[in-house]
Amino acid sequence: MIQPRVLKGFRDSLPSQEIVKKQVIATLEEVFSSFGFVPIDTPVLEYTEVLLGKGGGETDKQIFHFVDNGGRDVAMRFDLTVPFARFMAGNLHKLPLPFKRYHIDKVWRGENPQKGRYREFYQCDFDIVGIDSAVADTEILLMMSDAFKAMGLSRFTIHLAHRGLLNAFLNHIDCGDHAVEILRIVDKLRKIGEQAVKNQLIEIIGSDEAAAAILNYITPKEGESTTQTIERLSELAGNEEEHTKRLKEIFALLNSLGIASNFILDPSITRGLDYYTGVVFETFLTDLPSIGSVCSGGRYNDLASLYTKEELPGVGSSIGLDRLLSALEELDASLAHSASSSDILILFLDETLLPLYLKTAQTLRESGVRCDLFLSDKKLMAQYKYGEAHEIPYALFVKGEDDFTLRNLEQRSDHELSLKEIVAQVKGTL
């Protein structure tokens, strides 16, 4: 006998979890499709060299890679961004630009598993590539907003900043050489606090004054309007014009759509990665700030420079699906409570009525009612228990050709109804 164990950092998805996950993904896909975004898929395995590019470094130890039977060094994808860049470079001639894509699937990393962190997990990415404009930036932000609303999470704030403007500011105060380290430190503000950030900045830059200037730049001012903040930041960056204009355009569009209240200009947002060059953003749930950003991204000016000379500017965002699923559960969102496998359980009481049970199930299914048939004539209590275990709201007694009793399993109430009434009852209350 072999012990049916799973690997450390991996897990099965039971039906109650899988149903919720599928519904969340379907909800997201519906929003993405409503914006004309299209799905793509890429192989789980790729050449290690293609995925890792020149610099392996940190990532190298975390990825699952091996030599296959053909002697090729191959790796399992560790994110959906690198395969997307490779995909764009390899299929450019087949794709009309600008290209709006989404990709929701598993990725693998050999990190040490911690609470809520697994070696197999989901990413959900969406991007617009082939264009650099305020309306593209806004469309990504609008789609994020619609996605959270569609999931029943309407209490969220998307924090926005502009990486180009921050870089201009750092150059203006002669800190441009340390930009990468500074961004990494500032990115930790929420975690380690203002004082620690200041100390670390001083250590890097060697100047109290510059550190104070940076803290001043990234700290929101009470009572300031968004326009005033943009003007102030622009001034601090030496009257920067290009990025300032973009920020203004984005906020003007958000305002015209009547959704600006879900957005806040927050100059402390930097997104650690070198990659970003324009607007950057993070999303926080009002009722669950502690879990951190549930959807982050930004604008980059060249997606696939590793693989092609074609310049592909873009803007994209990524939802941490596993984190989102915990949030939905913790916030008791209705999406997290829709794990029923069926609408109706047809009870099995008399073997001679089997053809009628199957026929009734068939008719109900044709009316769009999900219908499970209990498969043996066990005691009624066992059949109810099965229904409850699957969170099925109704049980149906089929007693004759036109003789039905519908039982509400939660309320334990019985009603004699026609098939047509049963369909209405089930659909009306769902």
Site for its own copies in 214-273 (CB under 8 A): 252-253, 256-257
Report 181-220 residues binding its own copies (CB under 8 A): none
- Residue by residue, what is the 3-state secondary structure of 177-209? HHHHHHHHHHHCHHHHCHHHHHHHHHHHHCCHH
Question: Please, are residues 141 and 158 in contact by the beta-carbon 8 Å criterion?
Answer: yes
Per rule CB under 8 A, is residue 154 in the interface with its own copies?
A: no
**Amino acid symbol at 342:** S
For residue 200, CA distances in Å to 40, 195, 308 come to 42, 9, 38
Amino acid letter at 100?
K
**Residue type at 115?**
K
**Which residue, 2 or 411, has its beta carbon nearer to its own copies?**
2
Residue 330 found at the interface with its own copies (CB under 8 A): no
* Whether residue 39 has a cis bond before it, omega within 30° of 0: no
Residues 306-325: x/- map of binding to its own copies (CB under 8 A)? xxxx----------------
Closer of 110 and 152 to its own copies (Cβ): 110
Decide: 140 and 36 in contact? Cβ < 8 Å. Answer: no
381 makes contact with its own copies (CB under 8 A): no
Regarding 1 and contact with its own copies (CB under 8 A), the answer is: yes
Q: Which is nearer to its own copies, 234 or 342 (CB)?
A: 342
Residue 212: CB minimum distance to its own copies, A: 39
Q: Which is nearer to its own copies, 77 or 243 (CB)?
A: 77
Kindly state the number of chain residues that form the binding site for its own copies, as judged by CB under 8 A: 104
The CA distance from 187 to 196, in Å, is 12
Give CA torsion, residues 46, 47, 49, 50, to 10 deg: -50
Select from 36, 55, 71, 400 the one that contacts its own copies (CB under 8 A): 36
By CB under 8 A, residue 115 contacts its own copies: no
What one-character-per-residue DSSP string does 241-307 give? -HHHHHHHHHHHHHHHTT-GGGEEE-TT---S-TTEEEEEEEEEETT-GGG--SEEEEEES-S-TTT
Q: With CB under 8 A as the contact rule, which of the stretches 19-27, 218-226, 262-270, 281-289 interacts with its own copies?
A: 19-27
Using the contact rule CB under 8 A, the part of the chain among 130-138, 278-286, 395-403, 409-417 near its own copies is 130-138
Interior/surface letters 23-40, b for 16+ CB within 10 angstroms, e for the rest = bbeeebbebbeebebeee
Q: Which of 55, 57, 70, 71 binds its own copies (CB under 8 A)?
A: 70
Residue 95 C-beta: closest distance to its own copies, Å: 8
**By CB under 8 A, is residue 29 in contact with its own copies?**
yes
Output the CA torsion sign for 89, 93, 98, 99.
negative
Residue 210 one-letter amino acid:
A
Taking CB under 8 A as the binding criterion, the range among 2-10, 164-172, 239-247, 395-403 that sits at the site for its own copies is 2-10
Task: Give 160's strand partners.
Answer: 265, 281
CA dihedral 222, 227, 229, 232 (to 10 degrees): -130
392 binds its own copies (CB under 8 A): yes
At closest approach, how far in Å is the CB of 420 from its own copies? 18
Is residue 371 close enough to count as binding its own copies by CB under 8 A?
yes
Applying CB under 8 A, the span of 158-166, 268-276, 299-307, 403-411 interacting with its own copies comes to: 299-307
Distance of closest approach, residue 259 Cβ to its own copies, in angstroms: 9
What is the closest distance, in whole angstroms, from the C-beta atom of residue 182 to its own copies in the complex?
30
